[in-house]
Structure 1
């Protein structure tokens, strides 16, 4: 169990030099976060220069919905000039769930993110009803769907595991590298979950990318965050207590690691309220049937992330140096070298 074209648009354009072809056509100016209210739009100052344009003039947007983000729908689009395939998230501006400044904050944070395992901003458009955020396209599907597929397949074949430890550790390592980068930039994601992790391609060993910064924000350690945001299965206990910092992302990584190895979440209530109560208790188990073949290192890795006290929880850097991630990388390197030697020895 795992667990219209006829509307004139305002295209966000940079106020600075646009000579770099790799720079999205969006400009930003960020001021220090001085407000204790994390949803106060004054906490992040953004200046835009607007010119009228049509998203349809630049992109051919598919009508098929690929997925849903925190605040909008995601579709495929193609740049009419270059042929580049992208994804576009369309956010309805009058959606009551979209708080003041949230869209601008998401755009600004995406501009900051320059990491191979994080989705990259390509373009931004605004019309009378929507803001359209264009990013690079991942064609391999969600990690969530892969979990469901593997769990169903293993169950049908009387297996008990979801991903192998090598597969799970490889995915978690990529997530941790991205989280380490985000945290070094004083950015916290706050909604890490398999639905927000995509495979770049359909290849067996495809890299992953973290998407959807709709709940992300800039944060320093001086003032704790206090808004309860996130997805029930993956939310950290201190978030539910309304006093938390960037360590909440590491709790979510621990939950993802647990699910990758067995196919179901460690805190699994009948509804959101019960799930929250289980998280606040912090008790979870490794049932023998599903976990009998899982290494002690993997269990220790999870236990060091699903720690109630965020001060005692591993950081992203510490997690990357845990034996389950670090030693496995060495072992995989040895296996790869051994295979290469064997190939050379064969006639």
Structure 2
């Protein structure tokens, strides 16, 4: 596939976009922002040339016609167009459902689900830095860095019971042409969600479909009975390939030649020119015996890629602490706007900071990890608790990558006007003003499908529609919206009240008696 964005192969089970099959908290703010953009398919200028093509899909570069180019984003996207055959709608829904659940710095972002020229389409982040094969050869340290990023993405996906099933070098793209660009895992056309077994944590039904690229296919896929560790095998193949200047460990001109070699799983290291650590990594990720193969959650702790994580990071940058302080005291609508903007940012210099804080490599910063990172920030324990709750806008018990980046957007001072216009348009349903309904559409889903629902939260959910109805004539126009981003501004109380009612049990518990009383009065109006 070379430097193609994605090709889309048949695979996976049937899913609806917002379904939460595994009883896990979904990043619903992200899901809602994605789903709300269905009407913009005709607002793109689409290139004639294909970035990539599959049997039922084409990938094209596009640009939003009304988009204002910013310093952080060119406005270019990749659009994956599915053919009009309804037989392939399941593939479209599966890929859309999976990508809308992913929020990780090394996974391509899904921006919108739309229709272009009567074809179902996914609007994706454009990764225009080429594939990892385009920058061969690599030093061992460079290869280790790439593999660590891919392994991080896989560990995150497996934590959500998602299996990619086609991790090959051509599906690992550089985000930009910059020499220090991060890599992104793309092409989720073969991805699927594991069907878990109730009351048996960690247990799942085996997958049977033979899908993905043969060159990185694990032996058990050929045998027709496999689980998530097929992705770990693929990572080992990718590591071996990058270390050996693009030469894959298994060679064969035909399927008949290649499959027996994969099933045998023998990889020769007679001419190995790299470290023993690198060799050990390849051997332990490419074990034919699945039980002996490393799990995705432990791959990141292998010394070959874990050593690369040594960082000069010791204390949080001053500008980051300042930006987070502004975020903590910001109105909820402003925090939603910053999250909407963060989703559109192609790359952030604070990606490594997020990864350093998230020592568990889950893609979700826990309260313990957050408190450890910010213990020397100059904030009190209660201020840090408040900041953590403010960051967790999805109310899912952790801080996602987008939530973290949202709080960094003001490190350079107040946002520019073009950024504010973009944020406003991402929330407003008509582009002229923001209503209570616009806000509710984005945040209301965060109150559903939570294991830790309390009586208070149930009340909030029941009262949300009444609250919206009460304020249905309220409109926040662009000039009022921009005032929220002036540092120190605190107004627009009714919008503030609406969103602040979505407190979880821990947030409610930390309110003092007077605040609790006011909160309960607000949601019972």
> Which protein shows a greater Rg?
2
TM over 0.5: yes
Counterpart for residue 223 of structure 1: 205
Query: Does 2:289 correspond to 1:309?
Result: yes
Q: Distance in 1 between matches of 2:217 and 2:51?
A: 25
Cα distance in 2 for partners of 1:144, 1:251 equals 19
Q: Distance in 2 between matches of 1:182 and 1:91?
A: 24
Q: Any conservation in 1 of the 2:240–2:249 contact (CA below 8 Å)?
A: yes
Using the TM superposition, give the Cα deviation of residue 52 of structure 1 relative to its aligned residue in structure 2, in angstroms.
Answer: 8.9
Q: When the two structures are superposed, what TM-score results if normalisation uses the length of structure 1?
A: 0.73
The residue aligned with 2:176 is: 201
Q: Which residue of 2 aligns with 1:261?
A: 243
Q: Say if 1:71 and 1:166 are closer, same or farther in 2 by CA, change over 3 A.
A: farther
User: What's the C-alpha RMSD, in Å, of the aligned pairs?
Assistant: 2.7
Q: 1:301 to 1:77 in 2, by over 3 A?
A: same
How high is the TM-score relative to the length of structure 2? 0.49
* Equivalent residue, structure 2, for 1:93: 84
Q: Which structure shows the bigger proportion of residues in helix conformation?
A: 2
Q: Secondary structure at the match of 1:101?
A: helix
The structure-2 alpha-carbon separation of the partners of 1:244 and 1:60, relative to structure 1 and needing over 3 Å to count, comes to same
SS in structure 1 of the partner of residue 283 of structure 2: helix
Find the aligned partners of 1:268 and 1:186 in 2 and give their Cα distance.
31
Q: Matched residues in 1 for 2:67 and 2:170: separation?
A: 29
Equivalent in the alignment of 2:164: 189
2:46–2:61 CA contact under 8 A, matched in 1 = yes
Provide closer, same or farther for how the CA distance between residues 127 and 201 of structure 1 changes in structure 2, counting only shifts above 3 A.
closer
Equivalent residue for 1:125, pick from 81, 104, 114: 114
**Superposed, which structure 2 residues align to 1:128-143 within 5 Å?**
130-143=119-132
The offset of 1:82, in angstroms, is 2.0
Alpha carbons 2:208, 2:225 under 8 Å: kept? yes
Partner secondary structure for residue 130 of structure 2: coil
- Is the 1:236–1:248 Cα contact (8 Å) retained in structure 2? yes
Question: Which runs of 5 or more structure 2 residues have no equivalent in the other structure?
Answer: 3-15, 23-33, 69-74, 197-202, 314-525
In the TM superposition, residue 79 of structure 1 has moved relative to its aligned partner by: 1.1
- Aligned partner of 2:96 in structure 1 is 107
1:213 corresponds to: 188
Residues 127, 174 of structure 2: 8 Å contact kept: yes
Q: Give yes or no for contact 2:219–2:263 (8 Å, CA) kept in 1.
A: yes
* Contact 1:70–1:212, Cα closer than 8 Å, also in 2: no
Residues 94 and 129, structure 1, Cα contact 8 Å, conserved in 2: no
Instruction: Provide the C-alpha distance between the structure 2 equivalents of 1:204 and 1:52, rounded to a whole number of angstroms.
Output: 35
Judge conservation of contact 1:86–1:135 (CA < 8 Å) in 2.
yes
How far is the alpha carbon of 1:78 from its aligned partner? 0.7
Q: Does 2:69 correspond to 1:77?
A: no
CA contact 2:38–2:113 (8 Å) conserved in 1: no
CA distance 1:242–1:163, shift in 2 (3 Å): same
